[in-house]
């Protein structure tokens, strides 16, 4: 980072991968905006932890699938912290239940597409003018493993369609905004589950994961390290890339043929 402190907005950052990313960027000297929907307690605990590092931190409620919430997020960032230099689009609704496309309700399709594609595009559109004025910016989208190949993903039709659309948008936006010093990349985490989303590599490096070609579970630190690197000042020549952080696991092939489950959970 240069001497002028950067401001980073991480959507869906009260817990999990977003939380680890917020901590990583705070450690690098960024002021941080935490975003949450329902996890108010966790968000404010994280806010206090980040403020103890000597940087500024806001915790703002808002749903990335609601345009008015996105607008409020951006306006508050501008008023309180002077804008947004780094935008990490981590949040995105996900239906854990494996379900055929024909079994989705119309409102579920709308919500998944809005939260994973349209909301991301709208937030980028709101933030880019701030970045252009400074001729510096970092935008990171989140996908899934092998999203760049645009393969079919049975039982994940809507989510996969949104993220694959985001692949093309990432590559297009990277070219359009490169002259302004703005990089745009996509991170595709592997199957990092449960508590591992907030664990460090040192905590799992001796654990065995038979599903992972790497042989150990993935962690939030694995993802946050890559994001931290992409946000560095000298990472300005790295843009338009779709990067798997998966330990070599192919999540689509692992899921094909599995029977539909019966439980729905948010991402």
Q: Is 214 part of a structural domain of the chain? A: no
**Chain position carrying tokens 């493993």:** 145
Number of structural domains (the chain) is 1
Q: Is 108 part of a structural domain of the chain? A: yes
Q: Is 21 part of a structural domain of the chain? A: yes
Q: Is 230 part of a structural domain of the chain? A: yes
CATH assignment of the domain containing 236: 3.40.50.720
**116-138: pLDDT as tens digits:** 999 999 999 999 999 999 999 99
Q: Is 205 part of a structural domain of the chain? A: no
What pTM does this model have? 0.91
Confidence of residue 253 (pLDDT cuts 50, 70, 90): low
Q: Is 213 part of a structural domain of the chain? A: no
**Structural domain range at position 31:** 7-193+220-255
Which residues have C-beta within 8 Å of that of residue 264, sequence separation ≥ 6?
95, 96, 97
Q: Is 180 part of a structural domain of the chain? A: yes
Q: Is 125 part of a structural domain of the chain? A: yes
User: Do residues 166 and 140 lie in contact, with contact meaning Cβ atoms separated by under 8 Å?
Assistant: no
Which residues have C-beta within 8 Å of that of residue 75, sequence separation ≥ 6?
none
Output the pLDDT for position 258: 45
């Amino acid at each position: 980072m240069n001497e002028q402190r950067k401001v980073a907005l991480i959507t869906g950052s009260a817990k999990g991968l977003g939380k680890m990313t917020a901590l990583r960027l705070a450690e690098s000297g960024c002021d941080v905006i935490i975003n949450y929907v329902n996890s108010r307690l966790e968000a404010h605990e994280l806010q206090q932890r980040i403020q103890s590092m000597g940087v500024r931190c806001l915790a703002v409620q808002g749903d990335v699938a609601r345009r008015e919430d996105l607008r409020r997020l951006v306006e508050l960032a501008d008023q309180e912290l002077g804008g947004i230099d780094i935008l990490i689009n981590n949040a995105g609704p996900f239906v854990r239940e494996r379900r055929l496309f024909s079994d989705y309700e119309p409102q579920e399709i709308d919500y998944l597409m809005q939260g994973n594609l349209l909301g991301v595009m709208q937030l980028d559109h709101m933030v880019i003018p701030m970045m252009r004025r400074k001729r510096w910016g970092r935008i990171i989208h989140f996908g899934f493993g092998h999203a760049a190949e645009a393969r079919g993903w049975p039982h994940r039709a809507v989510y996969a369609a949104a993220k694959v659309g985001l692949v093309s948008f990432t590559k297009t936006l990277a070219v359009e905004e490169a002259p302004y010093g703005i990089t745009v990349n996509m991170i595709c985490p592997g199957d990092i589950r449960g508590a591992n989303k907030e664990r460090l590599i040192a905590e799992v490096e001796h654990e065995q994961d038979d599903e992972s070609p790497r042989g150990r579970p993935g962690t939030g630190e694995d993802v946050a390290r890559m994001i931290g690197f992409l946000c560095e000042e000298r990472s300005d020549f790295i843009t338009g890339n779709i990067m798997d952080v998966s330990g070599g696991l192919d999540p689509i092939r692992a899921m094909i043929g599995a029977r539909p489950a019966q439980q729905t959970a948010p991402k």
